[in-house]
Amino acid sequence: MKNTLDVIKERRSIRKFKPEQIKEEELQAIIEAGLYAPSAVNKQSWNFTVIQNKEVLDELNVATKNVAKCSDNEFIKKMGENEKYNCFYHAPTVILVSGKDDERSKVVDCSAATQNMLLAAEALNVGSCWVELVSLAFMGPQAKELRDKLNLPEGYTPLYCVLLGYKDMEGKAAPRKENAVQYVR
């Protein structure tokens, strides 16, 4: 297993995946890493939905893009209109991360869980990418149908996706980090 600091430095968003599913033990280790994330007042205000069904992922992709097409944001609108764009980059495994609606820190909690899963994936040499765009599908006309199909618990709202699969590309080198730290000693 890689050193933790090396994993943090080496992790990159992967947007091209091999078609085969990741191993079950890798998936379980990644989920466990998410479950062990810190959370405000230990509320653990997250829920994870693992999707490995290609037809369901395709349907979720189309629903996301249909809402994106109507966006006021030109960048998002262009993604929705691009027939070749797949918001999951054809990853064979997607973990939908949902936050508990009545928890004030759900976004922070779910972000910490998402980052833990991304780091665990890198440690296991599994490609990953953090995607927020899918949350649009749950604001559109298919929201209830999708919630039912995914068996999402009542009172949780999808926030992010963690895309997982074996890398079919190399991540780009990390940009140099400058002027982001101030010291008061």
- What pLDDT band is residue 67 in, cutting at 50, 70 and 90? very high
Q: Which CATH class is domain 4-165?
A: alpha beta
Confirm if 155 and 83 have CB atoms less than 8 A apart. Answer: no
Residue 6 token pair? 């090396």
Whole-number pLDDT of residue 1:
59
Domain ranges of the chain: 4-165
* The pLDDT of residue 22: 98
Stretch 94-103: mean pLDDT: 97
Entry pTM: 0.94
Mean pLDDT of 136-146: 95
- Cβ–Cβ under 8 Å, residues 68 and 136: yes
The order of strands in the sheet holding 156-165 is: 46-51, 93-100, 156-165, 127-131
pLDDT-wise least confident of 63-77, 84-98, 167-181: 167-181
Q: What would you measure as the largest C-alpha separation in the chain, in angstroms? A: 56
Average pLDDT, the chain: 94
Eight-class DSSP state of 88: T
Name 17's bridge partners: 167
The two tokens of residue 134 are 């899918």
* Length of the chain measured in residues: 185
The pLDDT of residue 169: 85
CA distances from 150 to 4, 17, 118 (A): 33, 23, 22
Structure tokens at 145: 């149908």
Read off the pLDDT of residues 28-44 as tens digits, 9 standing for 90 and up: 999 999 999 999 999 99
- Count CA atoms closer than 13 A to 132's CA, side-chain side: 5
Dist CA 173 CA 10 (whole Å): 8
Question: Is the pLDDT assigned to residue 25 strictly greater than 80?
Answer: yes
Q: Is it the case that residue 86 has pLDDT exceeding 80?
A: yes
**Separation of alpha carbons 60 and 69, rounded Å:** 14
Mean pLDDT of 71-85: 96
